[in-house]
Amino acid sequence: MNQYESVVIINPNVAEDTIKSLIDRFSTLINNDGKVEKVEELGKKKLAYEIGKEKEGYYVVFDFDAKPSLIAELERNYRITDEVIKFIVIKK
């Protein structure tokens, strides 16, 4: 298993309970085939540039161990989730 870090930017207009459910959903997905080490909520921050007319985003950082096959499924879930406006997954 490899170590990964994923930064997800969620639309800031989403309700707080929806943000919590998204974090739980992504954590559960990772834990199915890996292990979440840490989830860090950085909160609302100003974006470097506008993304879809949004100037702010809610940042969440996941540190986890997983098999490389999980990354494609995780990125697919990020793409189909309307509340996620940007994401990146990097191998440490």
List CB contacts of 81: < 8 A, sequence separation 6 or more.
Answer: 22
Does residue 52 register a pLDDT over 90? no
Q: Residues 70, 30: contact at Cβ < 8 Å?
A: yes
Which has the closest alpha carbon to 13: 90, 88, 91, 85? 85
Name the β-bridge partners of 38.
63
pLDDT tens, 1-30? 899 999 999 999 999 999 999 999 999 999
So what's the pLDDT on residue 57? 95
Give me the residue label for tokens 């834990």: 31
* List of domains in the chain: 2-81 (3.30.70.60)
So what's the pLDDT on residue 49? 94
